[in-house]
A and B are shown apart, each in its own frame.
Chain A
Amino acid sequence: MNKTLLYAVLLIVTVVAPFMFPTFGTQLATLWLMVVVALTWDLTGGQMGYNSLGNIFFYGTGMYVAAVVTISLVYSVSDYTNAAGGGTFQFTWAQYLTGLALGSIAAGLFCAACAVIIGYITFGLRGPYFAIGTLGVAIAAGELVSNWDWVGGGQGIALPVYPGDLDQGKTVFYFLFAGLGVGLFIFLKWLYGTRFGLALNAIRDDEDKADGMGLHTMRYKLTAWAIAAFFVGIAGAISAFQLIHFEPLETAYQTINLGIFMVVCVLLGGKGTLWGPVVGAIMFHVFKEVTWNYFLGWQWVALGALIVITVVYFQDGIMGWLMRVRPEWFGVSVDRSGKAEAAE
């Protein structure tokens, strides 16, 4: 009962937030983006124990796939990028919306396929080697794309501006991100309740044992990463439309910004829990915006300090700490009413 009420309140807050705080429209949209990348990072990093530093690859790739799909539906991509903003390229409402829809779906599917291919190679690596290997993929992709003139090279690429009222556009993007976030949360809540959730946890706790028990570990790992990549790819596509112009190194494949932030969000909130990444993303985003606004010049120092404190003193995050001090809230307890005798 309490839970239903909680979910109802949260859903109402989600819906009314952009209307109550219209000046924060873009900030709130970014908050949902953080929730999406944190939840997807936790799917492999927290639940499965494979700490990827390369999930940003799917964000950047999603952006480019969405751009290429949207443009190629109407114009030649090379004409468009060669004009470098000089030509006149008009998109009608219908063309814009088709691009947004098809571009997002294509971005998700393309990124999921990339995850299967990259995962097939990198899942042979474990622990820090996997983290560095995936980071390498993201950095290499950024460098390659910035030298690929067909998609605008280092200049980046620009998408059409939202054809309607711009304030209305902000609200539309807020609800696209919020919808993606809520959909992802519900999907993961279901997924972690199936055999899939247990298999991921088994791989995290002891992958050799899981192999020894006959689990199809590679199948689970590839599927998990493909699911994460699918949602991050769509998030990237929506970001591309929201930002209008983006370039490869600082925006799309931004390994040192969003690529690291998603990890910090999860560590802060608690790895391997459903709510941890959500709580962590909200706290991190608020912290980041406050420091950016009030401690300008020191914002990176403050952020660095937060990361150091989290990693050194608070590794379990907020949810992990709660589980430690209140295990009974999470059902960890001895059942004395049982029928069998205890073994000591």
Chain B
Amino acid sequence: MSNIIEVSGVSKRFGGVIANHDISLKVKKGEITGLIGPNGSGKTTLFNSIVGFHPIDEGSITFEGSEISKLQVQDIARLGLLRTFQQTRIYGKMNCVQNMLISIPHRKAAFMDMFAPHSSADNEKALSLLEFVGLYEKRNLLGGDLSFGQQKLLEFAMALMNDPSVLMLDEPTAGINPTLINGLIDRLKKANEEFGITLFVIEHNMRVIMNLADDIYCLAHGEMLAQGSPDEIQNDTRVIDAYLGAH
């Protein structure tokens, strides 16, 4: 199994705060990789570094074998490496279908493609993905009028619309009604198995991540603390100490 993302020796400082220090990890193609750690341990910073949201201070990040740490956000997104946000981001004044239609892949978009009409294939795909996440009935509502949990599902559907090879999800279940979490786990697994999308997931809900991930990394205080299968991580005393604050 080849590694689709390889992070090696990445450090990121914000002034005096060392958010990430010498982080290395590998995301295997076709699998679901988890990233856990207490609040403020540098998980989102690492996500931001990988997708090019801010430059890194040291280290290297490769995607499908090529270096991406110097690329811009849009260029990385067009390579097929996409992320969703912890604070959900959708287009608030556009309806759900419009949100979906503009999320098509822009990998090979030529100048004249800006003026292309919406193809019926795109329309069908948008509707079927909205149905997949359970928002079909709400498709004509404005994104900003949906509840937080629905916006999260919409953002997930938009990401799927983009046909990414890797999808990085920042706390996909945060703010979602507990009764819907199982449904969401199923959908994430389905996206992984049926659509063949590699997932890299930050998650605080241990039940979710232990169910979902094949391989888990744990960060604490900006450093890599542990790595292993869900069972290994669950029984790792360092991880338990980090979460219970025994430092």
6 closest A-B pairs by CB = A214-B77, A343-B134, A340-B136, A205-B91, A338-B137, A198-B102
User: For the complex, what is the distance from the CA of A211 to the CA of B77, rounded to whole Å?
Assistant: 8
Interface centre among A201, A205, A215, A219 (most CB of B within 10 A): A205
User: For the complex, what is the distance from the CA of A97 to the CA of B85, rounded to whole Å?
Assistant: 58
Interface residues of A (CB under 8 A from B): 191, 193-196, 198-199, 201-202, 204-206, 208-217, 219-220, 223, 272, 331-336, 338-344
User: Whose C-beta in chain A lies nearest to the C-beta of B122?
Assistant: A195
- Known contacts A211-B77, A214-B74, A343-B134, A333 near B140 by CB under 8 Å: yes
The answer on a CB contact under 8 Å between B111 and A219 is yes
User: Whose C-beta in chain B lies nearest to the C-beta of A198?
Assistant: B102
- CB-defined interface of B103-121 with A at 8 Å, one 1/0 digit per residue? 1011101010111111000
- How far in angstroms is the closest Cβ of chain A from B114? 5
- Chain A residues near B73 (CB, 8 Å)? 208, 211-212
Q: Which of B114-156 contact A (CB under 8 A)?
A: 114-118, 130-131, 133-143, 145, 147, 149-150, 153
User: For the complex, what is the distance from the CA of A199 to the CA of B114, rounded to whole Å?
Assistant: 8
The answer on a CB contact under 8 Å between B131 and A194 is no
- Known contacts A344-B147, A344-B177, A339 near B131 by CB under 8 Å: yes
From the candidates B95, B101, B106, B133, name the one contacting A332 in the complex (CB within 8 A). B95
User: For the complex, what is the distance from the CA of A220 to the CA of B112, rounded to whole Å?
Assistant: 11
- Known contacts A214-B162, A215-B106, A332-B142, A343 near B74 by CB under 8 Å: no
The answer on a CB contact under 8 Å between B94 and A205 is yes
Q: How many inter-chain contacts with C-beta < 8 Å in the A-B complex? A: 138
User: For the complex, what is the distance from the CA of A213 to the CA of B160, rounded to whole Å?
Assistant: 11
- Chain B residues near A211 (CB, 8 Å)? 72-74, 77
- Chain A residues near B137 (CB, 8 Å)? 334-336, 338, 340, 342
- Chain A residues near B116 (CB, 8 Å)? 194-195
- Chain A residues near B101 (CB, 8 Å)? 195, 198
Interface centre among A191, A194, A331 (most CB of B within 10 A): A194
- How far in angstroms is the closest Cβ of chain B from A126? 15
- How far in angstroms is the closest Cβ of chain B from A49? 10
- How far in angstroms is the closest Cβ of chain A from B112? 10
- Known contacts A205-B93, A332-B140, A212 near B83 by CB under 8 Å: yes
Interface residues of B (CB under 8 A from A): 51, 53, 72-74, 77-78, 82-83, 85, 89-95, 98, 101-103, 105-107, 109, 111, 113-118, 130-131, 133-143, 145, 147, 149-150, 153, 158, 162, 177, 180, 183
The answer on a CB contact under 8 Å between A198 and B139 is no
The answer on a CB contact under 8 Å between A335 and B89 is no
User: For the complex, what is the distance from the CA of A212 to the CA of B186, rounded to whole Å?
Assistant: 25
User: Whose C-beta in chain A lies nearest to the C-beta of B107?
Assistant: A214
The answer on a CB contact under 8 Å between A199 and B150 is no
User: For the complex, what is the distance from the CA of A215 to the CA of B95, rounded to whole Å?
Assistant: 18
User: For the complex, what is the distance from the CA of A201 to the CA of B130, rounded to whole Å?
Assistant: 20
User: For the complex, what is the distance from the CA of A216 to the CA of B115, rounded to whole Å?
Assistant: 13
User: For the complex, what is the distance from the CA of A334 to the CA of B140, rounded to whole Å?
Assistant: 6
User: Whose C-beta in chain B lies nearest to the C-beta of A208?
Assistant: B89
User: For the complex, what is the distance from the CA of A336 to the CA of B140, rounded to whole Å?
Assistant: 11
- How far in angstroms is the closest Cβ of chain B from A53? 22
From the candidates B72, B133, B153, B162, name the one contacting A213 in the complex (CB within 8 A). B162
Q: List 12 A-B contacts (CB under 8 A).
A: A205-B91, A205-B93, A206-B89, A209-B89, A211-B77, A212-B85, A219-B114, A332-B141, A332-B145, A334-B141, A335-B139, A340-B135
Interface centre among A198, A210, A333 (most CB of B within 10 A): A198
User: For the complex, what is the distance from the CA of A80 to the CA of B47, rounded to whole Å?
Assistant: 64
- Chain B residues near A214 (CB, 8 Å)? 74, 77-78, 82, 105-107, 162
User: For the complex, what is the distance from the CA of A198 to the CA of B101, rounded to whole Å?
Assistant: 8
Interface centre among A209, A214, A216 (most CB of B within 10 A): A214
The answer on a CB contact under 8 Å between B92 and A341 is no
The answer on a CB contact under 8 Å between A212 and B114 is no
User: For the complex, what is the distance from the CA of A208 to the CA of B83, rounded to whole Å?
Assistant: 12
User: For the complex, what is the distance from the CA of A331 to the CA of B143, rounded to whole Å?
Assistant: 14
The answer on a CB contact under 8 Å between B90 and A342 is no
User: For the complex, what is the distance from the CA of A198 to the CA of B93, rounded to whole Å?
Assistant: 11
> Given A196-B115, A213-B106, A214-B162, 17 more contacts at CB 8 Å?
A194-B118, A195-B102, A195-B116, A198-B94, A204-B93, A212-B82, A213-B82, A215-B74, A219-B111, A219-B114, A332-B145, A335-B137, A335-B139, A338-B137, A343-B133, A344-B150, A344-B177
